[in-house]
Amino acid sequence: MNINLLAVGKLKEKYWTGAVDEYAKRLSSYCKVHVVEVPDEPTPDNASAAQEEMIKKKEADKLLAKVGERDYVIALAIEGKGLTSEDFAAHLDKMALQGYSTFTFIIGGSLGLHEDVLKRANYKLSFSKFTFPHQMVRVILLEQVYRAFRIQRGEPYHK
């Protein structure tokens, strides 16, 4: 199984990269993890709605260029569905049983995801109604994927 994490922007702080690396290492027993960063587009102060839409479109084009035709795409979006860890594990397991072997998670930039990405997504997932830093979402996502594998296999994991 392959897990792709596509994200707008680059992790700069060592504590975020260290956490991402740790969960990627833990996940290596279960799957192959690929973290792909696409450059974020500069957003001018007081950008108009049209400018913001254009920026999201450019970021979407870069993200979608990295998505395989047969990937099961999960877009992280505040308007997505919230799941428990157990339900998330069951969903991934169900999709794997339906023949998906590559799961691509997409995290947008500071303006969010363009409609093109949301349309391509097979599933829209929300971790919370709160807004989190995109760097933190990467870590939370990889931790939840790791937890999902542990749940699927009946392996112990702290609650």
What's the CATH code of the domain at 66? Answer: 3.40.1280.10
73: its two tokens? 């795409």
Beta strands in 9-150 (DSSP E): 32-38, 72-81, 102-107, 123-125
Q: Give the pLDDT score at 28.
A: 96
Phi-psi region of 50 (alpha: psi -120 to 50; beta: other; left: phi over 0): alpha
Q: What is the pLDDT of residue 34?
A: 97
pLDDT confidence of residue 99: 96
Confidence band for 131, pLDDT divided at 50, 70 and 90: confident
Find out whether 9 is annotated in a ligand binding site: no
Determine the residue type at 71: D
> What is the mean predicted confidence (pLDDT) over 11-19?
95
Residue 40, domain member (yes or no): yes
Of 156, 61, 45, the C-alpha closest to 108 is: 61
**Average pLDDT score over residue span 102-127:** 96
Q: What percentage of the chain has pLDDT greater than the value 70?
A: 99
Name the domain count of the chain.
Answer: 1
Decide if 88 is inside a domain: yes
- Confirm or deny that 109 is annotated as ligand binding: no
Task: Give me the pLDDT at residue 100, please.
Answer: 97
Residue 130 lies in a domain: yes
Band of pLDDT at residue 134, cut at 50, 70 and 90: confident
Which pairs count as long-range contacts for 20-23, CB under 8 Å and 24+ apart, including other chains?
20/138, 20/139, 20/142, 23/139, 23/142, 23/143, 23/145, 23/146
Quote the pLDDT of residue 132. 86
| pLDDT for the residue numbered 159 | 56
Gap between the Cα atoms of 95 and 4, Å rounded:
15
- Report percent pLDDT > 90 for the chain: 91
Which structural domain range is residue 80 located in?
2-152
Confidence of residue 139 (pLDDT cuts 50, 70, 90): very high
User: Quick check: is 159 in a domain?
Assistant: no
Residue 130 pLDDT: 86
Tell me, yes or no, whether 157 lies in a domain: no
Here the tokens at position 14 are 């060592």
Q: In what order do the strands lie in the sheet with 123-125?
A: 32-38, 2-8, 102-107, 72-81, 123-125
**Number of neighbours of residue 112 by Cβ within 10 angstroms:** 18
- Reference 131, options 109, 105, 156, 146; nearest CA is 109
Q: Judge whether residue 67 has pLDDT over 80.
A: yes
Q: pTM for this one?
A: 0.94
- Please give the average per-residue pLDDT across 77-94, as a whole number: 96
Whether 158 is covered by a domain: the verdict is no
> 36: helix, coil or strand?
strand
